Amino acid sequence: MVSNDSSSDTFSKMSTKIVIAGGFGAGKTTLVGSVSEIEPVTTEAVMTEASVVHDDTTAVPQKVTTTVAMDFGRITLDEELILYMFGTPGQARFWFMWDDLVRGAVGAVVVVDPRRLADCFDAIDYFEQQQRIPYIVALNKFDGQLNYTGEEIREALEISDNVPIIDFDARDRSSAGHVLKELLVHALANSGSQSELVG
């Protein structure tokens, strides 16, 4: 949209919503925090002894908090597009909120910890069933290496051939930003028009 002031060539910014999903401890909160240009809004709560029954921290023993509602962040891309990022909680007991968090999103990133593939089955299934929402799979390289190829992970998780699988480091702003750009490219290719991506 162009300003009414003909001397100004300033465009108003467009915005859109994306979702960051995945299993418990996969790196969702870290991804949002590494790219957000505002202080991320998080709903982290200290894990209690009662949560040990539900949350397997074997692969992430340093994890002492967990997201109980959502994460929220914002990033401006190309000075014209603002992405609002909504991170989902990873535990099954909070999945009742996913439909509300996903409503209005143009796409989703499913963050996968390749050391614990089973933890992301439910997120993959959710987006496979929500065929109206394009998604990509982002393999978080915790130790800097991946033990499996993208195709091995595609087969293990039964991910559709049209879903991009990319590796990244959720702690690295550039790497995490690349994931968001890949999601937008994928969402645009599946939407048919740019106007469907922005609100």
* DSSP reduced 3-state for 133: coil
| CA distance linking residue 30 with residue 44, whole number of Å | 12
Kindly give the pairing relationship between strand 41-46 and strand 14-22.
unpaired
In the predicted structure, residue 134 carries a pLDDT above the cut 90: yes
CATH no. for 14-196: 3.40.50.300
pLDDT band of residue 30 (cuts 50, 70, 90) is: very high
pLDDT band of residue 8 (cuts 50, 70, 90) is: very low
* End-to-end Cα spacing for the chain: 12
| CA distance linking residue 120 with residue 117, whole number of Å | 6
pLDDT band of residue 6 (cuts 50, 70, 90) is: very low
| CA distance linking residue 132 with residue 137, whole number of Å | 16
Judge contact between 197 and 187, C-beta under 8 A.
yes
Please state, in angstroms and as integers, the Cα–Cα distance from residue 199 to each residue in 13, 65, 167, 176, following that order: 10, 33, 29, 23
Average pLDDT over residues 33-47: 79
Average pLDDT over residues 168-172: 96
Give pLDDT tens digits for 66-121. 555 689 999 998 888 999 999 998 766 666 778 888 999 999 999 999 988 998 99
| CA distance linking residue 97 with residue 72, whole number of Å | 14
CA angle, corner 131, sides to 126 and 137, nearest 5?
60
What pLDDT sits at residue 1?
42
What pLDDT sits at residue 60?
55
Average pLDDT over residues 56-73: 62
Residue 93 in tokens = 């007991």
Provide the residue ranges of all domains of the chain, joining segments of one domain with +: 14-196
Residue 17 CB coordination number (10 Å)? 19
What pLDDT sits at residue 142?
77
Mean pLDDT, the chain, rounded, equals 81
Averaging pLDDT over each range in 67-76, 124-133, 164-173, which range is the top one? 164-173
Residue 193, Cβ density class (10 Å: 0-12 exposed, 13-18 middle, ≥19 buried): exposed
Average pLDDT over residues 149-160: 91
Residue 108 in tokens = 């989703």
What pLDDT sits at residue 191?
80
| CA distance linking residue 119 with residue 116, whole number of Å | 6
pLDDT band of residue 55 (cuts 50, 70, 90) is: low
